[in-house]
Amino acid sequence: MIKSEKGGVGNGAMTVENGQADEESSFLAKMKAVFDNLPFNSWVKDSRGVYIAVNKTFADSAGLSDDAILGKTDGDIYAPGQAAKNKLRDRDCIQEKKKIQFEETTADGRVMEFCLSPVVEASGEIVGIAGFSRDITDAKISEAALLEREERLKRAQAMAHIGNWEMDKGDSTVWASEEFFKIFGFEQAEERSLPYDRIRQAISGEDLMKNDVAFKLLMEKNRDYDLEYRIKRPGDGAERFVRSSAVMEKDGCGAPYKVFGVIQDITDIKMREEQIKYLNRHDLLTGVYNRTSFEKELRRWDNEKGLPLSLIMVDVNGLKLTNDMFGHSEGDRLLIGVAKILKDCCPIGGRVARVGGDEFCMLLPRTSAEIARSISAQILRACEISNGANCLELICPSVSLGYATKRDPEEPISNVMNEAEAFMQKRKLLERKSLRSSVLSSIKTTLFEKSHETEEHAERLVELSRLVGMEMGLTDSHLYDLSLLASLHDIGKLSIDEYILCKPGKLTDEEWAEIRRHPEVGYRIAKSSPELMAIADYILCHHERWDGKGYPQGLKSRNIPLLSRILAVVDAYDAMTQDRAYRKATAKESAIDEIIRHSGTQFDPDVAIVFIKTMQNRLS
């Protein structure tokens, strides 16, 4: 509704000449109809803040009639707080002589948008204020939802390392998303645009050509663009793998006009792919090829182009014993050490593979038997050098190896492998004695360190037990086993906590139970080791007593193996005649008296008699 100058509600007509009045009246009527039907609240106030025009939407939203609004001020219509707030905003609009916009939330949670503009006459005088307001709650909700979707998209792109980009056909400038800039390591421009040549400069040289070809086909032939390439970030110089895809969009007339693309950082994916390929082809422990890869390489070179084709079969010595004695971690170290030696000795073009638990094979295409023999000798020398350099290690690399060469293309490769393996086994038999000595020496060293028994103690036991054994007429084989038993009867103590073994005071029941387990542990170690299998039963029984009160089985008299009975006497004597942390050594004569006193209960009386006779001969 529009209020006349006289204050009443009228049609807005003014006192003018009739023709002009009719024309203006018609125009104002049309304007009034438009004003009343605006879909948002609209009003006009004079410079005093009096409403002189409101539309129907305003009146309806205020819940008032036209007469209740026109000619009134905000103080007549609204609560004092709201009226005062409106008055201040009107004043700001008039004083600053400019449009002001603001939002306000109503008591029921709706969001209203307001716009106030000064009404200026031709003379420049401000004669009033025009305003409108509208409910933008739904728009705000939609805008918030859109922003949330954009944020989710940004987060998803960041997590997947995906960015997007656009480029007008024929243009040389690219618009790119925030993630795009991050992928390339570019500093982000405010307008998020950058020259296409700058992107090209970041692409690695060998991949640049294929990118240029694909991009040209996209721009000129409308071919889909989808390829992987490497980039080098200008900031940190890091090399990254990316995948970029793009399509040419068409306008309403079907003409290509803009490229839309996405780019993804696939470095992590590529690394995982490479890792999977590596794991599929290599032995996880040693890093050399696995058996599957070896067989594939063997098929690849088993033809005329690979001749002469040489194979070196390598067997790691003492792996089972190392695992049993020192644990699988030490066995793993042994395998890793051997694998490193083989890789270092393998020439360019050769392949090293782990083909079994303790077996490796070196595949040497286009390699003669003479060169294979030279490489074999180099491997053995490398093991010796490693042993010398790492003399303090528990177990040093030791291998047995054999080689064979295929010269005839018709010869089955299986025959060559069998020949190399047979050669290896022959050498293993020849080297077994020195290997046995080396392995046993390592075991003894470790045992002495762990149990704090001295090497001199072991040597005395070996000497005394051999004297008794010879006096009792034992064979050379039994004498050898007796010497080995004297050195390694306490091998089971390797499994006992060092704190218990070195405890100076009295042991608890639990600690004593742990000590009593060592014959059984030693038995299991020896039984699983070819080098010690012959003395396994003797180790198990070396704490049995003639009267059946020993452990772990409570065997009596001659049910106890003879070598165990001999050791029991010799070990008891040596223990009594040597200083201990908790007591002084006993005189040799007193120790002999103790052996006599416990003969028939703790010790075999026959063995005791031979031992006493032997010791009396030595003492005399």
49 and 150 in a single domain? The answer is: no
For a pLDDT cut of 90, what percent of the chain falls above it?
Answer: 47
Lowest mean pLDDT among 38-42, 241-245, 466-470: 38-42
149 and 131 in a single domain? The answer is: no
Residue 553 pLDDT grade (very low, low, confident, very high; cuts 50, 70, 90)? very high
User: Is the pLDDT assigned to residue 16 strictly greater than 70?
Assistant: no
Query: Which of 135, 162, 187 marks a domain boundary?
Result: 135
Q: Is pLDDT larger for residue 136 or for residue 144?
A: 136
DSSP state of 435: H
User: Is the pLDDT assigned to residue 450 strictly greater than 70?
Assistant: no
Q: Is 388 part of a structural domain of the chain?
A: yes
pLDDT score, position 433: 56
End-to-end CA distance of the chain: 144
Query: Which of 135, 161, 194 marks a domain boundary?
Result: 135
The strand pairing partners of 363, in sequence order, are 311, 351
Residue 9 pLDDT grade (very low, low, confident, very high; cuts 50, 70, 90)? very low
User: Is the pLDDT assigned to residue 19 strictly greater than 60?
Assistant: no
CATH number at residue 45: 3.30.450.20
pLDDT score, position 23: 62
User: Is the pLDDT assigned to residue 384 strictly greater than 70?
Assistant: yes
pLDDT score, position 8: 39
Tell which residue, 460, 466, 526, 464, has the closest CA to residue 490. 526
Tell which residue, 419, 399, 397, has the closest CA to residue 407. 419
69 and 154 in a single domain? The answer is: no
- Averaged pLDDT for residues 140-165: 73
pLDDT score, position 99: 92
In tens, the pLDDT along 476-503 reads 888 988 998 998 898 888 777 777 777 7
- Averaged pLDDT for residues 592-599: 93
- Averaged pLDDT for residues 228-256: 89
pLDDT score, position 414: 94
In tens, the pLDDT along 455-476 reads 778 888 999 999 999 999 998 8
CATH number at residue 374: 3.30.70.270
The CA dihedral of 356, 361, 365, 371, to the nearest 10 degrees, is -170
Q: Report whether 407 contacts 343 (CB < 8 A).
A: no
Cα–Cα distance measured from residue 445 to residue 438, given in angstroms and rounded to the nearest whole number:
11
Q: Is 332 part of a structural domain of the chain?
A: yes
Count of structural domains within the chain: 4
150 and 108 in a single domain? The answer is: no
31-45, 229-243, 312-326, 440-454 — which one is most confidently predicted on average? 229-243
- Averaged pLDDT for residues 573-586: 78
- Averaged pLDDT for residues 166-180: 89
Q: Is 533 part of a structural domain of the chain?
A: yes
pLDDT score, position 22: 64
Residue 441 pLDDT grade (very low, low, confident, very high; cuts 50, 70, 90)? low
In tens, the pLDDT along 95-135 reads 888 999 999 988 888 899 999 999 988 888 899 999 999 98
Residue 442 pLDDT grade (very low, low, confident, very high; cuts 50, 70, 90)? low
Q: Is pLDDT larger for residue 334 or for residue 4?
A: 334
321 and 401 in a single domain? The answer is: yes
Cα–Cα distance measured from residue 186 to residue 205, given in angstroms and rounded to the nearest whole number:
19
User: Is the pLDDT assigned to residue 263 strictly greater than 70?
Assistant: yes
User: Is the pLDDT assigned to residue 14 strictly greater than 50?
Assistant: no
User: Is the pLDDT assigned to residue 189 strictly greater than 80?
Assistant: no
Neighbours of 423 (CB within 10 A): 18
User: Is the pLDDT assigned to residue 365 strictly greater than 80?
Assistant: yes
Cα–Cα distance measured from residue 405 to residue 424, given in angstroms and rounded to the nearest whole number:
14
According to DSSP, the β-strands at 359-364 and 309-316 are: antiparallel
Q: Report whether 46 contacts 52 (CB < 8 A).
A: yes
Q: Is 440 part of a structural domain of the chain?
A: no
CATH number at residue 471: 1.10.3210.10
Burial class (CB in 10 A: 0-12, 13-18, 19+), 195: exposed
The contacts of residue 89 (CB under 8 Å, 6+ apart) are: 100, 102, 114, 116
Q: Is pLDDT larger for residue 523 or for residue 34?
A: 523
Average pLDDT for the chain: 85
474 and 583 in a single domain? The answer is: yes
Percentages (nearest 5) of helix, strand, coil residues in the chain: 50, 20, 30
Residue 148 pLDDT grade (very low, low, confident, very high; cuts 50, 70, 90)? confident
Q: Is pLDDT larger for residue 386 or for residue 316?
A: 316
The contacts of residue 129 (CB under 8 Å, 6+ apart) are: 44, 45, 47, 49, 90, 93, 94, 116, 117, 118, 119
User: Is the pLDDT assigned to residue 436 strictly greater than 90?
Assistant: no
37 and 158 in a single domain? The answer is: no
Q: Is pLDDT larger for residue 182 or for residue 434?
A: 182
User: Is the pLDDT assigned to residue 536 strictly greater than 90?
Assistant: yes
pLDDT score, position 371: 96
Query: Which of 87, 110, 135 marks a domain boundary?
Result: 135
pLDDT score, position 454: 62
Phi, psi (deg, nearest 5) at residue 313? -90, 130
pLDDT score, position 392: 44
Residue 439 pLDDT grade (very low, low, confident, very high; cuts 50, 70, 90)? low
- Averaged pLDDT for residues 185-203: 87
- Averaged pLDDT for residues 318-322: 79
User: Is the pLDDT assigned to residue 67 strictly greater than 60?
Assistant: yes
Residue 2 pLDDT grade (very low, low, confident, very high; cuts 50, 70, 90)? very low
Domain extent at residue 473:
452-619
462 and 592 in a single domain? The answer is: yes
476 and 564 in a single domain? The answer is: yes
Q: Is pLDDT larger for residue 204 or for residue 453?
A: 204
266 and 291 in a single domain? The answer is: no
Q: Is 12 part of a structural domain of the chain?
A: no
pLDDT score, position 567: 95
Q: Is 4 part of a structural domain of the chain?
A: no
pLDDT score, position 11: 35
Q: Is 244 part of a structural domain of the chain?
A: yes
Lowest mean pLDDT among 32-41, 179-188, 302-311, 358-367: 32-41
259 and 293 in a single domain? The answer is: no
Structure tokens at 90: 């009107």
Cα–Cα distance measured from residue 513 to residue 496, given in angstroms and rounded to the nearest whole number:
11
Residue 431 pLDDT grade (very low, low, confident, very high; cuts 50, 70, 90)? low
Cα–Cα distance measured from residue 258 to residue 250, given in angstroms and rounded to the nearest whole number:
7
pLDDT score, position 266: 92
Q: Is 172 part of a structural domain of the chain?
A: yes
User: Is the pLDDT assigned to residue 199 strictly greater than 70?
Assistant: yes
480 and 394 in a single domain? The answer is: no
- Averaged pLDDT for residues 153-164: 69
Global confidence as pTM:
0.53
